[in-house]
Structure 1
Amino acid sequence: MKRVEHAKLASGFLSHPEHVAFHDKRLWDLRSKRDAQAHAIPEWETLRSLASAIKAHTLSKLADYLEQFVSQAEANGVRVHFADTAEEHNETVYRLLSERGMTGLVKSKSMLTDECDMRPYLESRGIAVMETDLGERIQQLDGQPPSHIVVPAVHKLRGDVAEVFSRTIGTDPHNEDIHYLAQSQRMNTRPWFVREKTAGMTGCNFAVAETGTVVVCTNEGNADLSANMPPLHIVSLGIEKLIPRLSDLGVFIRMLSRSALGSPITQYTSHFRAPREGAELHFILVDHGRSERLAMPDFWHSLKCIRCGACMNTCPVYRRSGGLSYGSTYAGPIGAIINPTFDLKRFSALPFASTLNGSCTSVCPVKINIHEQIYQWRQVIAAQHEVPFVKQEVLKMAGRLLGSPTLYRGAVASLEGALRRLPNFMLYNPLNIWGRQRDLPQAPATTFHAWYKKNRQGGSRGQS
C-alpha cells in the first residue's frame, strides 16, 4: 500500500486552529487527570513494575498460557477459534454469522476488529454492522476510522457531531447540546440489540488463562448489551491480551482507567466465562503478526500494551497532528512502534513523528520503552533505505555542520546572524512541510561558546 505521509495528512487537521486547540487541551486534560490519580496512589510505581513484569512473564510463556486458556474456555462451554491473519479472523466471523443466518452485528469498540478491517469485509457480504460505542458510532457515520484508542472521536467538536448526526440520522442540525446528541445516538442504536438475526460482538481487554475468562472494560454499557442481548456473542482478542491468573487482574484494573481517562475505574468491568443458557459464546484468538513481533529482540515489548492511550494523551506531536494523520488504527507513540511491524515501508514515516522527549515512556502503565523503540525503528528504517531522499540530504547537511565544531563555529563566526538563519533555512523551506506549522524561538544575542570565551577563558573560574 501507499506510504503514509504523516506530515501531509496532519496539514489538513492543522488547517482548523479551533480543532487543534480543543484537541490539544482535551488530551492534556486527560494527561493531567492521569497524573492526579497516579500521585494519589503511593504504590503507583510498584504497580507499574508489577504490571510490566506480569506481561513480560506471560509473553515469555505465551504458548503455555494459550493452551491453558483454551482448555479452560472449552471446559466452560466456549467454542474457541484461531486466526493467524486478519483475513482468517474476518472469514471466521463471517462463517459464524452466515451459518446461523445472521444478517446484522452489534459490536462494542474493538481495536482488533478495526485492525483487521472487519467492518467493510462484512458489509461487502451483506452483513449490517452497528458500532454501539458513541465515539465509534460518530466515526462510522462520518465514514472515518477512530482517531484515538480510547476516545475515538476526540478530534471532533460538538458542532461537528451535530452536523454528522443531522446528515445521517436526522437530528436537529442547530442543536449542539451534548445530552441531546448522546440521547439521539442511543435511540438510533438501541433497537439493533433486539433485532432478529443479529449477533453481538465485543473486544477484550484482558483474557485470564487460569479461568478461561475474558474481561471487557467500558463506560457506556454497550458491550454488556452486545454480549447479553443477541443469541450469539463473538469475542475477538489478540493473543497478547492474556494474563496468567485472576489475581493478576486487579493490578491492571487499577491502572487501566486511571491511565486512560484519569478516573479510578471504568463504569463496567464485565467478565465473560461461559455462554448464557440457550446462547452461544465464541472466542477468536488472533495472531496477525504478533508472533513475529514477539521474536523481535528490540520490539517485542510493545506487546505489553493494554491500549490505555496514555502515551497519546501526553505526546505533543499527536496532540497537534490528530490521530487520523497516522493512517492506521493505532496512532500516536504506540502506533509509531506497532505499525512498522505490520508494514515497514508503508509506515516508515511514523517513527520520525516524535520529539523523543520520553514522556510516552514515563506515563506507560506497563513501562514500555516507547521512545527508545521509536529511535530504534529510525535506525532500522535508515538501514533499509526507507528514508525519503530529501530527508536524507537535509540530515546529511545538518550532520556535517552540527557534527563538526570547527565548521559550526566557523559558520557562526563568519556570517552575521548565521545562528538565526541556518536553522531557519533548514526548517522553513518548500521541501519541509513541518516548517509551515512551527516557529523557532528567537536565538540569543551571543552563543554560549562566545560568552564562555569572553568571560571564562584563562580564568580560574573556568577550572574545576
Structure 2
Amino acid sequence: MSAFTDRVDTALADRNLKIAVERTAGTAEAKRTIAVEAFPDFERARDRAAAIKDHVIANLGLYLERFEANAVAAGAKVHWARTADEACEIVIGICKAANARSVARSKSMLGEEIGLPHALEAAGITRIETDLAEHIIQLADERPSHIIWPAMHKTREQVSVLFKAKHRDPHQEETIAAMAESARRHLREGMLAADVGISGANFLVADSGAVCTVTNEGNAELSLVPPRVHIVTAGIEKIVPSMGHAVHMLRMLSRSATGAALSQYTTFYTGPRRPGDRDGPEEMHIVLVDNGRTMMRETGLAKMLRCIRCGACMNHCVVFRQIGGHAYGATYPGPMGAVLTPAFDGLAKNRDLPNACTLNGKCQEVCPVRIPLPTLLRGWREKSWREGLEPTSLRAGLGTWAWFARRPALYRAATASTLRAMRLMGRGGWLSKLPLAGAWTEHRDMPKPAAQSFMAQYKKGRRS
C-alpha cells in the first residue's frame, strides 16, 4: 500500500471522488441537523448516552459475564477471541463444522476489522455481501470507504457501469430504483440458499443475551433467519445493560448516522430457533472480540470505546470530505479511525493519521456520545513526538518556528514581511502557488491574506 501522502494526492486529484463524497456526506449533515433540531433535549440525551457507555466500560467484565450467561440460557453458544486471527479461526471453524459452502454476510465493520472477508475466501467459502453498498464494493474488489455507506466513494454513474458488467440481469433504466432492483435480483437467490448467516451487532443486551442489528434494507433479517447457522461477531464494547439502554442508544445512533428517527429495520435476536418457532437458525454463535479494546481501556483511550459507529464525525470532518475514506488506508477512516488505527495497528505505522486533522473540534460537537476526539488525537501526536516518530524536517521546522516565537519583535517583523510577500504574489485575490506550501496549492488555491496579521488588527481595534 502506498504512503499516506501518496494516497491523499491521488484522492485530491480525483474529481469523481469529491462529487461522490460531497453528495452523501453533505446530505447526511443536513439531515442530522434537521433530526437534532426536532429532538427535545438532545444535549441531555448525549450526556446520558455517554454516561451509559462510561458505566459499561468501567464494569465491562460484569456485563460481559451477564450477557454470556443470558445468551447461553437462550440457546446461543458464546466464544471469546483475544485477537483478530482468533476471531477468524473461530468463525471458519463454525462454518466448516456446518459444512458450509456459502455464507450470507450482513454489513459489519468488526468483520472488516478482523479481516473476515479474506479469511472466508482463503477457506474456500463463498461470501455473499447482502448490504447493497457492500455488494457494490465486493463487485469492485475494493475496501469500504465509510462505516455507514461503504461505497460512498462511488457515484451512481460508476455503480451503473459496474452492475452492467457484473450482474446476470442488469438494469435497463438509469435510475437508482432500477439499479437497486438489479442488485435484488442478483443477490436474492444466494441469500436464501446460504448455509450460514454472519452479522455484526450494533448492541449486545446484557440482561437478555439479545443481539441487535440495524439496517435500512432488511438484508440482515433475510440473510440471518433462513440459514441453518447464525454467527455474530461483535466487539466487547458493544454491551449495554438493558433493553431500555439499547433503545436510548438507538435513538442517538439513527439520528446521528442518517438523520432518521429510527432505522428501517431494527431487530433483536435472542438465541436460535425454539420449539414452536416458525423460522430461525438451528444454531446461534456469538464471537466476542477484544482485539485491543482491553488495552485501550487501560491506556488512556477508554473514552474511544464509547463509539457507536454512527459515522457523524467523518460526515462533518473537513479533511475526510476532501480525501474520502480510502486515503486513510485502514478499516476505520475519518477522526474515529485516526484514533482507533494507531491503537489497533501501532502508532509507528500510522503516525500520519492523527496529524490529518485541523483540530477544529467539529467531530466532538456532533458525536452522540461526546467522545473528545481532538483531545485523543492530540494525545497521539504528543506520543509520536515523545517517541521520535516525527520526521526530521518537521522537528526542524517547528524548532525554527519556536525560535522566532520566543522573540516577539522578530516574529512580528517576519510575519509582516511574509504577509507583504504573499500579497504581492496573489492574483485576483488568490494564491495559486506558494513557496514551502506546494502540498497545499497543488490541489487548491489559498486566499490572499489580509494586509495585517490578526494580532495587529486586534490591537488596532482595541485602541480604537
* Contact 1:23/1:319 (8 A) holds in 2: yes
C-alpha deviation, 1:195, in angstroms: 2.0
Cα–Cα, structure 1 residues 64 and 444, in superposed 2: closer, same or farther, change >3 Å? same
Q: Aligned residue for 2:311?
A: 309
Which of the numbers 247, 250, 256 marks the counterpart of 2:253? 256
- DSSP 3-state at the match of 2:127: strand
Are the structure 2 counterparts of residues 359 and 421 from structure 1 closer, same or farther at C-alpha, using a change threshold of 3 Å? farther
- CA displacement at 1:395 relative to structure 2: 3.0
Match of 1:182 in 2: 180
Distance 1:37 1:75 in 2: 39
Q: Does 2:204 correspond to 1:203?
A: no
The CA deviation at 1:414 is 5.8
After TM superposition, the structure 1 = structure 2 runs for residues 68-79 of structure 1, keeping only pairs within 5 Å, are 68-79=66-77
Alignment-mate amino acid for residue 118 of structure 1: L
SS of aligned partner of 1:285 = strand
Contact 2:317 2:363 in 1 (8 A): yes
CA contact (8 A) 1:103 1:128 kept: yes
Consecutive unaligned residues in structure 2, runs of 5 or more: 275-280
Could you say if the C-alpha distance between residues 421 and 153 of structure 1 is closer, same or farther in structure 2, counting changes exceeding 3 Å? Answer: farther
- In structure 1, the residue matched to 2:293 is 290
Q: How many residues align structurally?
A: 453
Residue 282 of structure 2 corresponds to which residue in structure 1? Answer: 279
Name the residue aligned to 2:277: none
Deviates more, 1:108-117 or 1:34-43: 34-43
- Cα shift at 1:316: 0.6
Shift in CA distance, 406/5, structure 1 to aligned 2, threshold 3 Å: farther
**Cα shift readout 1:387-411 (whole Å, capped 9, x = no counterpart):** 2233333333334344542222222
Residues 210 and 244 in structure 1, CA contact (< 8 A), matched pair in contact too: yes
Q: Equivalent residue for 1:417?
A: 420
Q: Which residue of 1 aligns with 2:278?
A: none
Q: What's the C-alpha RMSD, in Å, of the aligned pairs?
A: 2.4
1:320 is matched with which residue?
A: 322
Please name the residue that 1:109 is paired with.
107
The structure 1 residue matched to 2:230, chosen from 222, 229, 233, is: 233
Task: Say if 2:274 is the partner of 1:244.
Answer: no
Whether 1:333 and 2:330 are equivalent positions in the alignment is no
Of 266, 271, 278 in structure 2, the residue corresponding to residue 269 of structure 1 is: 266
- Aligned-partner residue type, residue 212 of structure 1: G
Q: Is 1:377 matched up with 2:375?
A: no
Q: Which whole-Å deviations, capped at 9, do the CAs of 1:401-438 have from their partners, x for residues lacking one?
A: 4454222222245678246589999x945785344223
Q: Counterpart of 1:240 in 2: which secondary structure?
A: helix
Q: Residues 433, 280 of structure 1: CA spacing in aligned structure 2 closer, same or farther, 3 A cutoff? A: same
Q: Which residue of the partner structure matches residue 439 of structure 2? A: 433
Aligned residue type for 1:328? A
Write the deviation string for residues 119-163 of structure 1: whole angstroms up to 9, x where unpaired.
Answer: 111111211111100001101111111000101111111111112
8 Å CA contact 1:199, 1:233 repeated in 2: yes
2:191 is aligned with 1:193 = yes
Task: Decide whether the 8 Å contact of 1:214 with 1:271 is kept in 2.
Answer: yes
Partner of 1:38: 36
**Aligned equivalent of 1:362:** 365
| In structure 2, C-alpha distance between the alignment counterparts of 1:452 and 1:321, rounded to whole Å | 34
Change (3 A) 1:92 1:434: farther
- The one-letter amino acid of 1:24's match is E
- The one-letter amino acid of 2:161's match is E
Aligned partners of 1:133, 1:270: CA distance in 2, in Å? Answer: 15
Give the match for residue 135 of structure 2. 137
Equivalent residues of 1:81, 1:283 under 8 A apart: yes
Provide the identity percentage: 38
| Contact 2:130–2:191 under 8 Å retained in 1 | no
Deviations 1:187-245, CA, capped at 9 Å, x for gaps: 1111112326x210111000011111111111101111121010100011100000111
Q: Is the partner of 1:417 in helix, strand or coil?
A: helix
Q: Distance in 2 between matches of 1:415 and 1:324?
A: 36
Deviates further, 139-148 or 14-23: 14-23
With over 3 angstroms needed to count, the CA separation of the structure-2 counterparts of 1:18 and 1:99, relative to structure 1, is: closer
Q: Is the 8 A contact 2:313 2:366 kept in 1?
A: yes
The code of the aligned residue for 1:335 comes to: G
TM-fit CA distance, 1:276: 1.2
Note closer, same or farther for the CA distance 1:275–1:399 as it changes in structure 2 (3 Å cut).
Answer: same
CA distance in 2 between counterparts of 1:415 and 1:205 reads 52
SS in 2 for 1:345: helix
Please state how far the C-alpha of 1:77 moved relative to its aligned partner: 0.6
1:16-31 aligned at under 5 Å gives the runs 16-31=14-29
- Determine the C-alpha separation between the residues in 2 that align with 1:422 and 1:98: 67
Counterpart contact for 2:256–2:311, Cα < 8 Å: yes
Q: Deviations over 1:160-200 (max 9, x none)?
A: 1112222222565985321121111111111112326x210
| 2:196 partner letter | A
Q: Return closer, same or farther for 1:46/1:140 CA change in 2, 3 Å cut-off.
A: same
SS, match of residue 146 in structure 2? coil
Residue 161 of structure 2 aligns with which residue?
Answer: 163
CA contact (8 A) 1:139 1:152 kept: yes
Which moves more between the two structures, 391-400 or 367-376? 391-400
Report the alpha carbon displacement of residue 252 of structure 1 after superposing the two structures with TM.
0.7
Q: Are residue 57 (structure 1) and residue 59 (structure 2) matched? A: no
Residue segments in structure 1 that go unaligned for 5+ positions in a row: none
Q: CA deviation at 1:381?
A: 1.1
Other structure's SS at 2:350 match: coil
What letter is aligned with 1:325?
A
Residue 122 (structure 2) aligns with: 124
